[in-house]
């Protein structure tokens, strides 16, 4: 019989599931409470950049990422105009969240984890043994809409395409099934029009991305993959000092970086050993919270700082103009910036 103290994880996204799997492999009793169910489409660019091999190894993620496409060449566009290309320092992995989250969930239950779907848990008050991996903290003031859909038969000009629009940016990449994921962050409209495919194409056009909408319209739109989300904030959230907060619940990084998923995995990695020790009866919960959150902060701070400083240049028209001029003149060290964000 296990004499370990149990761990509860609120949120079965990437941070919660990867931590749950690694804890189960260490024989820790784990329950995950997940508000939704699997499989499901998520608003996500579905490319993972800056994921270290040591994190993959510690969390045992290799089998889940095996099928992912490897992408390195990035092409930038402003409206329909090319801004040039560059290579990522290391290949990014591209895999659909529909597949990835469901595989992680299956693995967690196969390892004896208790996965309770359709269970939305109150996040107050925090309590010993409870970890919060329940995604971004919502901001009612957020002006942003996240939008994504899969499109078949859409040729790309590089492994990853990145399009700057009017108060918007959209990324495209091919995922493991061969379809292209089209995902963007767009300023919310007062009166959006249309539904499904028409809504998606209309949103691209109204944000100055008519040429991209034309290309998407020529492909086969996969209606069930269309998802939207609001309430994202890319400001500095006040840290929650009284609990273990992982992944987006700790901090959201602007999505153009392709780093949100690797930060989610990385934060799970930071929590793993301290939680195993606590489960074995060693240490006080307050000490575990302090140790984990110090590690999470230290690992994420640099990426968050650089990514948040660059973010406004991708979204406001005057700053996009400066960005475009600097990029075309070869003054923008995109490769160096990408390396800094992904380090």
Ligand X SMILES: Cc1cc2nc3c(=O)[nH]c(=O)nc-3n(C[C@H](O)[C@H](O)[C@H](O)COP(=O)(O)OP(=O)(O)OC[C@H]3O[C@@H](n4cnc5c(N)ncnc54)[C@H](O)[C@@H]3O)c2cc1C
Distance (Å) of CA 145 to CA 62, 110, 111, 141, 288: 32, 36, 37, 12, 36
Stretch that binds ligand X, among 206-214, 247-255, 291-299, 329-337 (CB under 6 A): 247-255
* β-strands 7-10, 30-33 pairing: parallel
Residue of the chain from 8, 22, 33, 213 that contacts ligand X (CB under 6 A): 33
Residue of the chain from 7, 9, 15, 304 that contacts ligand X (CB under 6 A): 15
Minimum distance of ligand X from residue 184's CB (angstroms): 6
Q: Where are the beta strands (DSSP E) in the chain?
A: 7-10, 30-33, 47-48, 69-78, 81-94, 114-116, 130-132, 144-152, 160-165, 168-174, 180-187, 220-230, 244-245
Helices 285-315 and 317-328: crossing angle, nearest 10°?
A: 80
Check binding of 26 to ligand X (CB under 6 A).
no
Minimum distance of ligand X from residue 260's CB (angstroms): 2
Over the window 58 to 77, marking each residue x when it contacts ligand X by CB under 6 A and - when it does not, the resulting string is: --------------------
Check binding of 232 to ligand X (CB under 6 A).
yes
List the structure tokens of 121.
Answer: 């848990």
Minimum distance of ligand X from residue 209's CB (angstroms): 15
Taking CB atoms, the residue at the shortest distance from ligand X is 13
Q: Which is nearer to ligand X, 33 or 108 (CB)?
A: 33
Residue of the chain from 23, 28, 43, 292 that contacts ligand X (CB under 6 A): 43
CB 37, CB 119: distance < 8 Å: no
Task: Specify the DSSP class assigned to residue 285.
Answer: H
Q: Which is nearer to ligand X, 135 or 165 (CB)?
A: 135
List the structure tokens of 229.
Answer: 């989300």
CA distance 217 to 200: 10
Residue of the chain from 55, 58, 245, 259 that contacts ligand X (CB under 6 A): 259
Of 122-161, binders to ligand X (CB under 6 A) are: 123, 133-135, 146
Phi-psi region of 283 (alpha: psi -120 to 50; beta: other; left: phi over 0): left
Check binding of 269 to ligand X (CB under 6 A).
no
CA distance 256 to 313: 12
Stretch that binds ligand X, among 115-123, 220-228, 285-293, 305-313 (CB under 6 A): 115-123
Q: Which is nearer to ligand X, 180 or 264 (CB)?
A: 264
Of 160-199, binders to ligand X (CB under 6 A) are: 183, 185
Minimum distance of ligand X from residue 1's CB (angstroms): 28
CA distance 260 to 248: 7
Residue of the chain from 8, 9, 12, 165 that contacts ligand X (CB under 6 A): 12
CA distance 216 to 148: 12
Check binding of 234 to ligand X (CB under 6 A).
no
Residues in contact with ligand X by the rule CB under 6 A: 10-16, 33-36, 43-48, 119-121, 123, 133-135, 146, 183, 185, 229, 232, 247-249, 255, 258-262, 264
């Amino acid at each position: 019989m296990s004499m370990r103290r149990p761990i509860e994880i609120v949120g079965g996204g990437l941070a919660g599931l990867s931590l749950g799997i690694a804890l189960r492999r260490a024989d820790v009793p784990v329950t995950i409470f997940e508000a939704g169910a699997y499989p499901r489409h998520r608003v996500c660019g579905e490319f993972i950049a800056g994921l270290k091999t040591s994190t993959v190894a510690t969390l045992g993620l290799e089998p889940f990422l095996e099928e992912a496409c490897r992408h390195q060449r990035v092409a930038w566009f402003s409206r329909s105009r090319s801004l040039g290309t560059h290579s990522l320092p290391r290949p990014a992995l591209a895999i659909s969240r529909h597949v990835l989250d469901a595989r992680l969930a299956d693995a967690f239950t196969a390892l004896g984890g208790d996965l309770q779907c359709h269970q939305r848990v109150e996040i107050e008050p925090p309590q010993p043994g409870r970890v919060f991996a329940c995604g971004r903290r919502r901001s009612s003031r957020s002006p942003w809409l996240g939008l994504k859909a899969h499109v078949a038969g859409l040729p790309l000009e590089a492994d990853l395409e990145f399009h700057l629009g009017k108060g918007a940016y959209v990324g495209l990449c091919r995922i493991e099934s061969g379809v292209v994921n089209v995902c963007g962050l767009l300023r919310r409209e007062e009166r959006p029009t249309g539904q499904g495919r028409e809504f998606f194409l209309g949103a691209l056009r109204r944000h100055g991305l008519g040429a991209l909408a034309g290309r998407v319209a020529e492909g086969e739109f996969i209606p069930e993959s269309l998802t939207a989300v609001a309430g994202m904030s890319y400001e500095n959230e006040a840290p929650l000092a009284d609990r273990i907060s992982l992944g987006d619940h700790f901090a959201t990084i602007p999505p153009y970086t392709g780093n949100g998923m690797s930060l989610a995995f990385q934060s799970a990695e930071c929590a793993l050993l301290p939680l195993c020790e606590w489960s074995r009866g060693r240490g006080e919960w307050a000490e575990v919270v302090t140790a984990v959150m110090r590690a999470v902060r230290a690992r994420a701070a640099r990426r968050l700082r650089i990514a948040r400083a660059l973010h406004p240049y991708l979204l406001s028209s005057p700053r996009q103009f400066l960005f475009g001029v600097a990029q075309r003149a070869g003054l923008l060290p995109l490769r160096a910036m990408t390396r800094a964000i992904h380090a």
